[in-house]
Amino acid sequence: MVNASKERYGPDDLDEVLDGVRHLIVAKGKKVLRFDLQQDEPDDEALVKAIIGPSGNLRAPTIRTGKTMLVGFSEEAYEEVF
């Protein structure tokens, strides 16, 4: 378990943050972006743009369950996963 208020993750930590993650679901405003990291392999720039906020750190809330990571809040995405 990670407490993001004590430990910060930035663009240089992508490998660590996404280690073992297959499905990445990112809520940005009303849009929900879905990445299959095993098949699609998006470039680092696309991932940084999706999951790193204006502060330069991993956006909140971020939840990891199994091989799925959710970044940002979307009721639709949460219902899909949980």
pLDDT in tens, the chain (82 residues): 556 567 788 999 888 889 999 999 999 988 999 999 989 888 889 999 999 999 899 998 999 999 999 999 999 999 988 8
Decide if 18 contacts 68 (C-beta within 8 A): no
Contact 8, 57 (CB under 8 A): yes
Let me know if residue 46 belongs to a domain.
Answer: yes
Quote the pLDDT of residue 60.
87
Strand partners, 63: 70
Answer whether residue 5 is part of any domain.
Answer: no
Residue 3: inside a domain: no
Structure-token pair, residue 49 = 């743009």
Distances in Å between the Cα of 16 and the Cα atoms of 55, 75, 77, 79 are 19, 26, 23, 26
What residues make up the domain containing 72?
11-81
CA distance linking residue 35 with residue 25, whole number of Å: 6
Residue 39 tokens read as 């098949």
Instruction: Tell me if 2 is assigned to some domain.
Output: no
Q: Each residue of 12-27: pLDDT tens digit?
A: 988 888 999 999 999 9
Count up the domains in the chain and report the number: 1
Answer yes or no: is 1 within a domain: no
pTM summary value: 0.87
62 falls within a domain: yes
